[in-house]
């Protein structure tokens, strides 16, 4: 689950158990350039205290003012901001953006307890709220599901909607894993080298034993999967990449210089991979941001993965380098 969603739900539960009045506010639809996407959450207490975000701040200020002036809905209801250009400007919505919000009074923390417990076990959970009856149910989610609203039922997806499989358990992998979790990735690591995996201690990261190519096959990558090869050992990385490039994974990347990745592509061409499959490889991995440290390299990798996930063409790629310079810089 996105770390901000978890923070919102945990705070809602705390306030409810303390006997406070609590409202959950959800972005259900946007038009134009809205600051927050559908599914974004904010929780508000009866004295106007809030956690989370549904805009850049001005909408939150208005919601707080409404509560403090006694406007407290007692059933799920809708509120729209930015209908006119003047209102959009007043509430800080750029380019005439419009937000449609769902305000829901929370009565008990039962469903929140369930969502938090199940997502802590890396489960994907969907909560469906019927606006007419005010009743909600939770169910197991399917990978690929996202927030949806049909005018009556709001379906909110909680949990790791995306998976990242890292081949290699070195220092870079540790930093990358920590950064990937707040971005809603469920992280897995495979590395058969005992000197690496024996000291791997990362909370909420799943260790997968075995050789990388076997692990990738058993992992069954789907369109919500990113696979990154980070060992610098062709015997491990290449075999995993052969299986990864044949899979539906939306992103496959490999660490290494431009020269090393050119050689890698030559090796991959010797196996049963088409030219289109080999062309899917992101190598050198990551966007070119002049990164050198593990943390900087992790940022460049995640930036490229997110851009591909969001359907945005990565443009900050490396320019051709001389052979000597290419060997110095891995990412």
DSSP 151-210: SSEEEEEES--EEEEEE--SHHHHHHHHHHGGGTEEEEEE---HHHHTT---TTEEE--S
Structure confidence at residue 323 (pLDDT): 46
Q: Residue 7, SS3?
A: helix
Structure confidence at residue 122 (pLDDT): 73
What distance in Å separates the CA atoms of residue 193 and residue 102, rounded to the nearest whole number?
50
Q: Residue 126: name the closest of 149, 108, 105 by CA.
A: 149
- pTM exceeds 0.85, yes or no: no
* Cβ atoms of residues 207 and 183 within 8 Å: no
Chunked mean pLDDT (size 10), the chain, 331 residues: 83 96 94 77 96 84 91 92 64 66 94 92 90 94 88 91 91 93 89 82 85 95 93 93 96 94 95 95 93 95 94 67 44 44
Give the number of other Cβ atoms within 10 Å of residue 199's Cβ: 9
Structure confidence at residue 315 (pLDDT): 67
Q: In angstroms, what CA-CA distances link 84 with 27, 30, 31, 91, 96?
A: 18, 14, 12, 11, 7
Question: Which tokens sit at 35?
Answer: 């600051």
Structure confidence at residue 188 (pLDDT): 95
**Residue limits of CATH 3.40.50.720 in the chain:** 162-328
The end-to-end CA distance of the chain, in Å, is 29
* Residue 21, C-beta contacts closer than 8 angstroms, at least 6 positions apart: 45, 46, 72, 105
Structure confidence at residue 89 (pLDDT): 60
Superfamily for the 162-328 domain = NAD(P)-binding Rossmann-like Domain (3.40.50.720)
Pairing of strands 225-229, 205-207: unpaired
Q: In angstroms, what CA-CA distances link 191 with 84, 100, 213, 244, 330?
A: 56, 46, 11, 15, 20
Structure confidence at residue 93 (pLDDT): 59
Structure confidence at residue 321 (pLDDT): 52
Structure confidence at residue 319 (pLDDT): 56
* φ and ψ at residue 45, rounded to 5 degrees: -95, 165
What distance in Å separates the CA atoms of residue 156 and residue 45, rounded to the nearest whole number?
21
Structure confidence at residue 28 (pLDDT): 93
- DSSP annotation of 289: S
Structure confidence at residue 311 (pLDDT): 86
């Amino acid at each position: 689950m996105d770390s901000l969603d978890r923070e919102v739900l945990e705070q809602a539960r705390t306030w409810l158990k303390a006997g406070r009045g609590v409202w959950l506010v959800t972005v259900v639809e946007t038009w134009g350039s809205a600051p927050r996407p559908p599914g974004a959450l904010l929780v508000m207490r009866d004295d106007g205290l809030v956690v989370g975000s549904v805009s850049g701040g001005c909408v939150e200020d208005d919601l707080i003012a409404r509560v403090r002036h006694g406007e407290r809905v007692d059933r799920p209801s809708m509120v729209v901001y930015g209908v006119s250009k003047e209102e959009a400007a007043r509430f800080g919505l750029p380019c005439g953006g419009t937000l449609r919000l769902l305000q829901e009074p929370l009565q008990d923390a039962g469903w929140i307890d369930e969502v938090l417990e199940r997502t802590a076990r890396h489960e994907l959970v969907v909560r469906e709220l019927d606006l007419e009856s005010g009743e909600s149910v939770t169910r197991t989610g399917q990978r690929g599901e996202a927030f949806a609203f049909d005018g009556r039922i709001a379906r909110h997806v909680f949990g790791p909607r995306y998976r990242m499989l890292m081949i290699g358990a070195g220092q870079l992998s540790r930093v990358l894993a920590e950064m990937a979790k707040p971005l809603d990735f469920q992280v897995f690591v495979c590395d058969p080298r005992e000197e690496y995996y024996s000291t791997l201690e990362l909370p909420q990261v799943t260790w997968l034993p075995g050789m990388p190519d076997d692990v990738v096959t058993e992992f069954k990558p789907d369109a919500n999967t990113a696979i990154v090869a980070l060992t610098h050992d062709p015997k491990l990385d290449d075999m995993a990449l052969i299986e990864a490039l044949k899979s539906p994974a939306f992103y496959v990347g490999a660490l290494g210089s431009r020269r090393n990745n050119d050689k890698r592509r030559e090796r991959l061409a010797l196996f049963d991979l088409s030219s289109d499959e080999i062309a899917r490889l992101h190598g050198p991995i990551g966007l070119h941001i002049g990164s050198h440290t593990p943390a900087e390299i992790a940022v460049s990798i995640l930036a490229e993965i997110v851009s591909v996930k969001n359907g945005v063409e990565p443009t900050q790629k490396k320019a051709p380098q001389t052979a000597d310079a290419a060997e110095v810089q891995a990412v």
